[in-house]
A and B are shown apart, each in its own frame.
Chain A
Amino acid sequence: MISKLFSREPDTRVYFATDIHGSETCWRKFLNSGKHYEANVMVLGGDMTGKALVPIVEEGKGHWHATLLENRRDFESEDEVKEFEESVMRRGYYPFRTDPDQMSELESSEELRDKLFHKEMLGTVERWMQMADEKLDGTGIDCFVSPGNDDQFEVDEIISEAKRVRLAEGEVVEFGDFQMVSTGWSNRTPWDTYREEDEDDLAERLKKMTSQITSPPEKTIYNFHCPPYGSGLDDAPEIDENMRPKHGGRSLIPVGSKAVREALEEGQPTLSLHGHIHEAKGNTRIGNTLCINPGSSYEQGQLLGAVVNLDGGKKVKRFVLTTG
């Protein structure tokens, strides 16, 4: 009885984080997380790319201005501009330098803005993969990344070219005796994002993926960006038709996927990893499956994550949610 309270030496220690949304700070922390938590395996759930572009407008004669978090800033030197650019990147936004003429064009052209977003997002992911190759080389730590519903499809191509990071989307990957299947696809959202589909289609997608698994449930991990419906890991503020939180944000409703829930109930993997709903940090059990959503505080530069010891037992018992 007492011995059950104490852990066997884990076969594998997994570190999982998700939804870093372009935050330079969170990515750098993620690359150090394996060493910091003595994990053998690092997994980054979906939504790597940022949500906003921050223009730094040149007014001439070495003067610039920009606005971040509704605070207007004026800069008189290159150093000040660089410092501001770093603070923007830490937050997960993309800074870019421009002038009043180009700003006018961007404001009036959706196409130009799309192109700029594309360039900044993909350029950042490419740079991040280079950082990962340098940082993880020689560590012996496995690193898996699977994009989420907010990440465009070109991200996959960039990740798949990295040497020390493995693209996990749609694949069954192995580490030790464990198999993990991953997807960033979610059920429909009000934002009409890149990787979302109806529940039936998502169920079909998940079935195809999970059917490739050959390991027993206690050696299986599902890394599905979208949390299971009604698990508490999917509680989000109820919003009205104008995308405003109802009741001051106090009314929470489940927005997760029923297809994901069904897949978990049927497959009963030992562990399932989720993200997507930043506010819904937590863990729960669906049958024998330990389900985790570590949440996200990427804007604050905090890397929320989970350290999980896998010992091959029927249930995962040793884990902790972290605030890196």
Chain B
Amino acid sequence: MANNAVAGSDDLFQRKATGLLRGWSVWDGFIYAAFSINLITLGLFTFSYAPFIPDGSLMLAIILAGLYLVFQTVTYASLIAVMPRAGGDYVWTSRVLGGGLGFVLAVTGWWFILWHWVPIYADLLNKEVFVPLAALLGLDGTVAFFSGASGLFTASMIVAVVASLYVSLGMRAYARIQKFCFYGGLIGLAVMIAILLFSSRSDFVSAYNSGAQDLFGAGGNAYQATIAAGEKAGGLSTSSAVYPTLLLIPFLAFFNLYSNWGATLYGEVRGASDFRKNIYAMAGALVFTSIFAVILLLLFAKTFGWDFYYAANANFWNGEGPVSVWPYPGMLVAMLLGNPVLQIILVAVLSLWFFGWTGSVFLSSTRVVFATAFDRVLPEWVSRTTNNGVPYAALLLMLIPSIPVSYAYAFGDNFATYVLDAVLVIAITFLGSTVSAALMPWLKPDIYNASPIARYRILGLPMITVVSIAFGVFLVFCIGQWLFNDLYGANNGQSLIYMMILYAIAFAMYAGFRLLRRAQGMDLAMVYDEIPEE
């Protein structure tokens, strides 16, 4: 036995004891954070909304939001430093602001709303994988199928099955799959950049006209027709005014608000270095993704032409133009390859960005369901697992509701509009954690003062408070715009009522289980009560 004390760094002597780990790799943390904000899958789709605000600068908005959201990464790195291994938004909010608020915000933002993200993921799967691949393979019927309601529902079921498979395989397997997909996806991104870099505008015009004819039956000069239709619809970029640029940011939140997804810390807390590493991983991913987004957009401007890029996206949303499918940049770049096999390979390799990310729709949710069950707010059976450790009950609680939700999204008359607030609900959950962070030094002084960040102050205030207020301003701005500005389509009355119903169900669940536990002699106040020290 070797229980010898070892000379630690920084004037600390440690002995060999269970759980003492060396620091994790920032690069690994970076990979998983980069996957959460996923430039190819989420980013490129989000940028297609830019023509709705033609007088704003998309690139400037990406840079501003990317830099500003560093406050988000510092806020979450601070929460992790103060309450590590806590399990995320639910635990932070419930421990600081109260169990009821923590439950309602987490259950709506991490559980209920992710049922609605299944068809959203499916829509991306269709637009970025199935439709382009089917088009490149010349399967016109398949293109039509995956562009319609049945295709959307089918893709939703594929998303649900793939996400369930990842959850069933466990975190070890999923971490490996994600890493494989990241490196494969990076190769695809590098190839995409190289093709854009070494192709001229005339190469693209010729390739697009040819591709539009061969793949989608759009004859004539489809390139010029696209720009003309976009211009007619007022969808071309006109200027770079400041306020319209800021108004693009709530659109961008659909893609860049999630660098904190899965933020946690394992092993013992060493101190400030762990805090910094979390910032490096999350903020690094955010800044890296934002930089690459701008590089891609610059290359789109060079090779596709900025007017064409805006017009193609505007046409898709307006239902105009010679090509009816969404102008997925991966497919547009693939058109430049000429060779159908290479085209298919490029789109397939880029699809790794989607498949490495798919698990996020269920994985974090199952964690929240477990955390609430451990707090006895939900019944014990929801935390049951198979002998192999598959959390089947929590998984079914994600999977089963996602089926009717996907069906209603695909085939319902108005249901798709109910889902418009999907990002808003997540932002409200993040706002709960942000308020918890801001108030932590006062509401949980003992825990805060014992943390490695307690010494950091800005203008005499705790740093965690200052950065979380800064991030809170971002969230409030976005939430305000979504709620009160018609531009985003998210202030649809039916959609808001539907979301309020979800909050009401969560509140009723909390109140009901709290009353039940009290009747059973197990007051849930015990979960959050602090035992006096003296």
Question: Which A residues form the contact surface with B (CB < 8 A)?
Answer: 5-7, 9-10, 21, 25, 28-30, 32-33, 36-37, 47, 51-55, 57, 66-72, 87, 90-91, 93, 103, 106-107, 110, 113-114, 116-117, 149-150, 152, 189, 191-194, 230-232, 235-239, 242-254, 276-279, 281-285, 295, 297, 299-303, 307, 309, 317-324
**Contacting residues, chain A, for B530 (C-beta < 8 A):** 323-324
Which B residues touch A278, using CB under 8 A?
19, 85
Beyond contacts A28-B533, A57-B11, A232-B389: 13 other A-B pairs, Cβ-Cβ < 8 A, are: A10-B521, A51-B17, A66-B11, A69-B270, A106-B7, A113-B13, A237-B24, A248-B28, A251-B172, A282-B370, A282-B383, A300-B451, A301-B447
Residue of B whose beta carbon sits closest to that of A71: B455
Known: A87-B450, A245-B21, A246-B175. A110 touches B12 (CB 8 A): no
B7, B12, B29, B269: which contacts A248 (Cβ < 8 A)? B29
B534 beta carbon closer than 8 Å to chain A: yes
Q: Is the CB of A322 within 8 A of B529?
A: yes
Contacting residues, chain B, for A37 (C-beta < 8 A): 526
Contact of A252 among B10, B23, B171, B272 (CB under 8 A): B171
Residue in B10, B17, B273, B383 whose CB lies within 8 Å of A150: B17
* B329, CB-defined interface residue at 8 Å: no
Contact B18 A244, beta carbon cutoff 8 Å: no
Min CB distance, B509 to chain A, in Å?
16
Bound Cα distance A47, B170 (Å): 29
- Which of B53-61, B241-249, B374-382, B466-474 forms part of the interface with chain A? B374-382
Rounded to whole angstroms, the CA-CA distance of A301 and B269 in the bound complex is 13
How far in angstroms is the closest Cβ of chain A from B97? 14
Give the Cβ gap from A88 to chain B, nearest Cβ, in Å. 10
In the complex, are the beta carbons of A194 and B450 less than 8 A apart? no
B272 contacts A71, CB within 8 Å? yes
Is the Cβ of A71 less than 8 Å from the Cβ of B17? no
Which of B214-222, B337-345, B475-483, B512-520 participates in binding chain A? Answer: B512-520
Asked if residues A6 and B526 are in contact (CB atoms below 8 Å), the reply is no
Contact at A243–B520, with CB atoms within 8 Å? no
Partner of A32, one of B19, B82, B383, B533: B533
Asked whether any CB of chain A lies closer than 8 Å to the CB of B208, the reply is: no
Q: Which of B335-360 contact A (CB under 8 A)?
A: none
For residue B381, which residue of chain A has the nearest CB?
A285
B82 to chain A, nearest CB (A): 7
- Out of A69, A152, A231, A243, name the residue touching B3 (CB < 8 Å): A152
Most chain A CB within 10 A, of B2, B8, B11, B25, is at: B11
Q: Is the CB of A67 within 8 A of B17?
A: no
How far apart are the CA atoms of A67 and B9 in the complex, in Å? 10
Given contacts A51-B268, A278-B85, is CB(A193)–CB(B3) below 8 Å? yes
Q: Is the CB of B11 within 8 A of A67?
A: yes
Q: Which residues from chain A contact B21 at a C-beta distance below 8 Å?
A: 237, 239, 243-245
CA A319 to CA B376, docked complex, whole Å? 8
- Most-contacted residue by chain B among A55, A113, A116 (CB, 10 A): A113
Give Cα A285–Cα B3 distance, bound, in whole angstroms: 34
Known contacts A6-B519, A47-B18, A245-B21; is A250 also within 8 Å of B262 by CB? yes
B271 within 8 A of A: yes
Q: How far is the CB of B357 from chain A (nearest CB, A)?
A: 14
Spell out B's residues near A (CB within 8 Å).
Answer: 1-8, 10-25, 28-29, 31-32, 82-86, 95, 170-172, 174-176, 179, 262, 264-273, 281, 370, 374-376, 380, 383-385, 387-389, 391, 446-447, 449-452, 455, 516-517, 519-522, 524, 526-534
Residues of A within 8 Å of B170, CB to CB, are 252
Complex CA–CA separation, A144 to B174 (angstroms): 41
Residues of A within 8 A of B384 (CB): 284-285
When the two chains form the complex, which single residue of A66, A68, A230 contacts B387, counting CB atoms closer than 8 Å? Answer: A230
Residues in B neighbouring A242, C-beta threshold 8 A? 22
> Closest Cβ of chain A: how far from B531's Cβ, in Å?
4
B5 touches A71 (CB 8 A): no
Inter-chain contacts of A321 with B (CB < 8 A): 374-376, 527
Chain B contacts of A117 at CB under 8 A?
A: 5, 13, 15
Q: Are A248 and B31 in contact (CB under 8 A)?
A: yes
Question: Are B5 and A250 touching (Cβ within 8 A)?
Answer: no
Asked if A320 and B15 sit within 8 Å, CB to CB, the answer is no
The 5 lowest CB-CB distance pairs between A and B, nearest first, are A69-B271, A70-B271, A248-B28, A249-B266, A113-B5
User: Given that A32-B531, A284-B384, A324-B530 are known contacts, is A70 also in contact with B273, CB under 8 Å in the complex?
Assistant: yes
Decide: B12 and A53 in contact? CB cutoff 8 A: yes
Q: Which residues of A contact B175 (CB under 8 A)?
A: 246-248, 250-251
Complex Cα gap A164–B435 (Å): 44
Q: Per a CB cutoff under 8 Å, which of B17, B86, B526 touches A307?
A: B526
Q: How far is the CA of A316 from the CA of B22 in the complex (A)?
A: 39
Note all chain B residues with C-beta closer than 8 A to A307: 522, 526
Contact residues in B for A36 (Cβ distance below 8 Å): 529, 531-532
Q: Is the beta-carbon distance between A323 and B521 smaller than 8 angstroms?
A: no
Q: Least Cβ distance of A87 to chain B in Å?
A: 7
A239 CB, min distance to chain B CBs, angstroms = 6
Asked whether B383 lies within 8 Å of A283 as measured between CB atoms, the reply is: yes
